[in-house]
Amino acid sequence: MQQTSDIRKIAFLGDYLPRKCGIATFTTDLRTAVAAEFPAMQCLVVPVNDIEGGYDYPPEVRFEIAEQDLPSYLRAADFLNITDVDVLCVEHEFGIYGGVAGSHLLALLHKLRMPVVTTLHTILSDPNPDQLRVMRELIRLSTRLAVMADKGREFLLDVYQTPPGKIDLIPHGIPDMPFADPNYYKDEFGVAGKKVLLTFGLLSPNKGIEYALQALPHIITEFPNMVFIVVGQTHPNLLRDEGEFYRLSLERMAKDLGVQKHVVFFNRFVELDELIRFIGAADIYLTPYLTEAQITSGTLAYAFGAGNAVVSTPYWHAKELLSGDRGILVPFRDAEAIAGAVIDLLHDEPLRHSMRKNAYQMGRDMVWSRVAQLYMKSFYQAGQDHSFVGRKSSPIRTLDEQPGQLPSLKLDHLYRMSDSTGIFQHASFTIPNFAEGYCTDDNARALLLSLMLQQSGHNSPHISDLAATYAAFINHAFDRKSRRFRNFMSFDRRWLEEVGSEDCHGHALWALGVCMGYAGHGGLHMLAAELFEQALPVMHDFTSPRAWAFTLIGIDKYLRRLSGDRRAHQIRESLTARLIQRYSDASAGDWQWFEDMVSYTNAKLPHALILSGRSMNNDPMLETGLKTLRWLVKIQTSDAGSFRPVGSNGFFQKGKERALFDQQPIEAQATVSACIEAYYATGDMTWEAEARRAFEWFLGRNDLGLVLYDSSTGGCRDGLHVDRVSQNQGAESTLAFLLALVEMQALHGALTSFREPPGE
């Protein structure tokens, strides 16, 4: 059994200063406190970077992780193992780790040999399926769990069925500040002789500052010398998505209320020393948060522990911390109640000072030196638990026991092929071919890719702009009179046809459905919903099985957001019935297909049935999809074991010889996607192997042994001919490769992070 004296090296994993966020501050303070209290310990840091190039970290940072790069998590695990770290302390918050619901962190934890103590900064009472799955695996992989409030422990037991013996209750740490008269600090901020109401932290709408502003006119009537100080910059995510809209709206509100002379917005991230002085200058600290679902508030802990009199709405952490006459709770979204509580406290000086004293005394158990000791106790216990359980070191796995490496995502050619109108259809070598113009088919695929990139964390303003461009093209392609999409557009933006193909229509519906299924920009959702609703009904008249299949995939995504849409349900039932009937009519003996010809984008037909059968709980439909995909995979596997798609130079007519060339990238991508869907539906790793076989066609595992993916541009060559590869890198082929790569990366991440089949 590991003895406490064996712990010599501790690693801290999370955000870290100078990155500006609450988790970075917490990790830095905790590491500093542990290093100060236990100087014999080596305390190194592994931070997660949200920007390319990272930050200018101090020397204790030994290894850095790129937030969205799964391999960097695996390399970090190797680093921690190789450097003989005795305990890893993880700071967990949804949103700071890559992968779906932060699942990349799990991949790191799976590879570790040392015990893990995880601090849970957020514990959701109603997690979505991805969050629930990640949280349960995180709990399983953590040797011990640190929570900062009794409510967090309650959620771990009731929602996540956590073994009670692995939970440690450790308060949020605070600096050890003197119990001082606020007047001591007021001169520094030019508010001597005034009453100071303070709130601080990253600014966002859930903080409820507007209700504090609405309370000010009533407070000022009683205390004309009142000043309300709001300390903290706008939350980086809000700043990225909306700019300073929220802060500006608060400033306008203050002016409209006539209290602008009594309000100060201190718009920057303040360091600890300055923050202590702000807290020291406050007569009352205010947290008017809008909902109860906050298990921990570092800002409240700081103000409370410093001996501030606190007025707060009753979110979970505040209810717990302010009980026993240590603060005043007011209802949510109630400016009048806020005003009444502040006025009463300022009038009742004995009550205010008694409240301050009660808070300060309790805060002595929250100072960082005390918290460091509690964490060290948890580290020691984790070492004993780890040895007692006998957790094995991660075994060395052979190549067939682990997901293979994938190319890095490179979007240079996608950017080159796109302009302010959309994505060009074709290229002359690697140069966009203006003469061939644009088409809705490719812009729909490009919109799908941009949405998948955003969903997987590869997000940037450039990707968001591209998504808007591709969506605008689809919107312009839709003729609201005929309710059909046009397809081909010339370089000078003239439509070359009145009505596009049925497949083009299906592609557009597929992309629009995915727009609805993914969280993101509200304007894009609204446009997608409008177009989807208008364009869907004409599917009743279509005869193309591929258009049916594309539409079914879009309907599935659409219904995940708007599950009550009866018409969408009815059309899905109709289209799946038609596909099943096509299979029944065409299949016979060793021909297990929907038509008398295997032609193009073939795997989308079984893909649609697998996805729909799974969503509709229709086992016969699901089995038909799996059966036809097995048959398709079999006929598209060469004697050498490589993927060999049916050639477009003649296709494969029932009873005749199949065409071997020209092999198209879109066939490999469709097969990759269908096999991944089959894996999600069954958990059978055979489908993962088939997806990888089809993907490796791009990388040279094909009949000619030639690579179609161009790693120098990020583009893909247009096809495999009998004696060579095409040297042109058009939109369809490039999008096919990138879509396949993003899906393979997502599957790779799931297989690395979990030990059972992932949900979607």
- Ordered by where they begin, the domains of the chain are 4-173+368-396 (3.40.50.2000), 183-364 (3.40.50.2000), 407-436+590-752 (1.50.10.20), 438-586 (no CATH)
Distance of CA 544 to the CA centre of its chain: 36
Helix (H) or strand (E) holding 387, with range, is helix 368-389
CA dihedral 446, 452, 453, 459 (to 10 degrees): 110
At 172, the amino acid letter reads H
Q: Is residue 320's pLDDT more than 50? A: yes
Helix (H) or strand (E) holding 326, with range, is none
pLDDT at 404: 67
d(CA 487, CA 438): 8
Q: Is residue 756's pLDDT more than 80? A: no
Q: 21-30, 267-276, 620-629: which has the minimum mean pLDDT?
A: 267-276
Q: Is residue 108's pLDDT more than 60? A: yes
What is the band of 398 on the pLDDT scale with cuts at 50, 70, 90?
very low
What is the band of 340 on the pLDDT scale with cuts at 50, 70, 90?
very high
Hey, which residues does 234 pair with through a beta bridge?
A: 203
d(CA 208, CA 291): 9
pLDDT at 402: 53
Tokens of 555: 């309907």
d(CA 38, CA 373): 9
Q: Residues 140-197: pLDDT tens digits?
A: 999 999 999 999 999 999 999 999 999 999 999 999 888 878 888 888 888 999 999 9
Which range among 50-54, 646-650, 756-760 has the greatest average pLDDT? 646-650
Q: Is residue 520's pLDDT more than 60? A: no
Q: Is residue 210's pLDDT more than 60? A: yes
What is the band of 601 on the pLDDT scale with cuts at 50, 70, 90?
very high
pLDDT at 459: 76
d(CA 122, CA 146): 11
Which parts of 233-338 are beta strand (E)? 263-266, 284-287, 309-312, 328-329
Q: 187-191, 285-289, 510-514: which has the minimum mean pLDDT?
A: 187-191
Q: Which of 171, 25, 21 is nearest to 96 (CA)?
A: 21
Could you say which DSSP state residue 188 is in? G
Q: Is residue 760's pLDDT more than 50? A: no
CA distances from 442 to 411, 447, 482, 490 (A): 16, 9, 21, 14
What is the band of 390 on the pLDDT scale with cuts at 50, 70, 90?
very low
What is the band of 521 on the pLDDT scale with cuts at 50, 70, 90?
low
Tokens of 400: 């067939």
CA dihedral over 117, 123, 129, 132, signed as positive or negative:
positive
CA distances from 21 to 16, 27, 45, 454, 517 (A): 8, 10, 16, 22, 30
d(CA 227, CA 232): 16
pLDDT at 178: 83
For 140, residues 6+ apart whose C-beta sits below 8 A from its C-beta are none
Helix 619-635 to helix 665-682 angle, to the nearest 10 degrees? 140
The share of the chain scoring above pLDDT 90, in percent, equals: 82
For 341-371, give one letter per residue: b (16+ CB within 10 A) or e.
Answer: bbbebbeeeeebeebbebbbebbeebbbebb
Between residues 185 and 739, the one the model is more confident about: 739
Residue 600 near residue 648, CB atoms below 8 Å? yes
Cβ burial, residue 510 (10 Å; 0-12/13-18/19+): buried
Q: What angle do CA 222, 228, 233 make, to 5 degrees?
A: 165
Between residues 232 and 629, the one the model is more confident about: 629
d(CA 168, CA 587): 61
Q: Residues 403-462: pLDDT tens digits?
A: 568 999 999 999 999 999 999 999 999 999 999 999 999 999 999 999 999 988 787 889
Please give the mean pLDDT across all residues of the chain: 93
Q: Residues 63-95: pLDDT tens digits?
A: 999 999 999 999 999 999 999 999 999 999 998
Q: Is residue 401's pLDDT more than 80? A: no
